[in-house]
Amino acid sequence: MPTARRVAPPRLMRMTRPMTRGSSPRARRRKDSLGKASGASKRWLGVARLALALASFVLAAGGTSFAQSFQPNATWTNQHGSSLTIQAIAPDGSFTGSFLNRSPGPCGNQRFPVSGWIDGQKVSFTVRWANASADCEAITSWTGYRGRSGVLARWLFVHFNRNGTPILTSGTDIFR
């Protein structure tokens, strides 16, 4: 009578990597279920991050609403110390005023006439850098809106260099 030979159960024979702590199939399933976020969880996490970023911005801005409005005799000063003063606003929203330029250079520390438009919280204004004492042969236009922390505006500056080549520069200002 032949002798019976013992064979290991198939599941033990299929194991190809050594067992280490936390590498059992059960531990791997638990790690997968905890380590990966579902689609809904990822969206929630994105919303939470956005809310945290907005809350940080509001706190950095002082957490208060901005009380100044677009009205005659209002002065708005940007982060460079230059200021826009609105002198008169027409019924159609057009306005006139002055811009005190605090930038270095031949047109620095001088006032220039400004004209623009106000439409609700939106604003656009232009300065031609020429007055009775200087002509810098340049124009800058700002377009933006009034928000909680002031007026956020993109600007576009155009002038010609010594060779006659047009130079167009842009940036952002915050007027408070």
pLDDT digits (tens, 9 = 90+) for 62-90: 333 444 789 999 999 999 999 999 999 99
CA pair distance 151, 121, nearest whole angstrom: 9
The residue ranges of every structural domain in the chain are 18-60, 75-175
* pTM listed for this prediction: 0.62
Q: How far apart are CA 81 and CA 99, in angstroms?
A: 11
Query: Fold for domain 75-175?
Result: Lipocalin (2.40.128)
Q: Write the DSSP symbol of residue 24.
A: S
Instruction: Provide CB contacts within 8 A for 71, sequence distance 6+.
Output: 86, 89
pLDDT of residue 48: 42
Between these two residues, 85 and 43, which has the higher pLDDT value? 85
Q: Over the chain, what is the mean pLDDT? A: 77
Residue 108: pLDDT band with limits 50, 70, 90: very high
- Residue-wise pLDDT for 9-21, tens only, equals 545 444 445 555 5
Looking at the predicted structure, is the pLDDT value of residue 167 above 90?
yes
Which element (helix H / strand E) includes 123? Answer: strand 122-130
Surface-to-core class of residue 101, CB atoms within 10 Å of its CB (0-12 exposed, 13-18 middle, 19+ buried): buried
| CB-CB contact of 125 with 116 (8 Å) | yes
